[in-house]
Amino acid sequence: MKKKAFFLPILSSFLVMVLLYTIGNIFKISYLSWTFYKENPSEGVVFEAGGSLIPVLIGLIIGFVLEGILKNKQKDDIDLSR
């Protein structure tokens, strides 16, 4: 597989994840957002982080679909060149 065909699904997955987390945080959509909570009580520091896995799953699905499309296109290009 070419470098372009290898990095394009990874890049698209990452960009979809970032886009969905950004949309979730801007519009306060809980199932698309990432949350942080920090508190400084007298005993120490309490830090909690949590977030939705839905953007990660959607990003991975997009990456796998795009990889399949690129593989089929590359296979078709090879068949046409014969």
- Tens digit of pLDDT for each residue in 14-62? 999 999 999 999 999 999 998 878 888 878 888 888 889 999 999 999 9
Mean pLDDT, residues 68-72 taken together:
88
Distances 32 to 25, 38, 43, 45 between C-alpha atoms, Å = 7, 20, 33, 27
* 56 close to 16: Cβ distance less than 8 angstroms: no
State residue 1's pLDDT score.
53
Q: What count of other Cβ atoms lies within 10 Å of the Cβ of residue 55?
A: 22
State residue 49's pLDDT score.
86
pLDDT at 81 over 70: no
State residue 80's pLDDT score.
65
Instruction: State how far the Cα of 79 lies from the Cα of 52, in Å rounded to an integer.
Output: 42
The tokens for 25 are: 């945080």
Q: Which residues contact 48 (CB under 8 A, 6 or more apart)?
A: 36, 37, 38
State residue 59's pLDDT score.
97
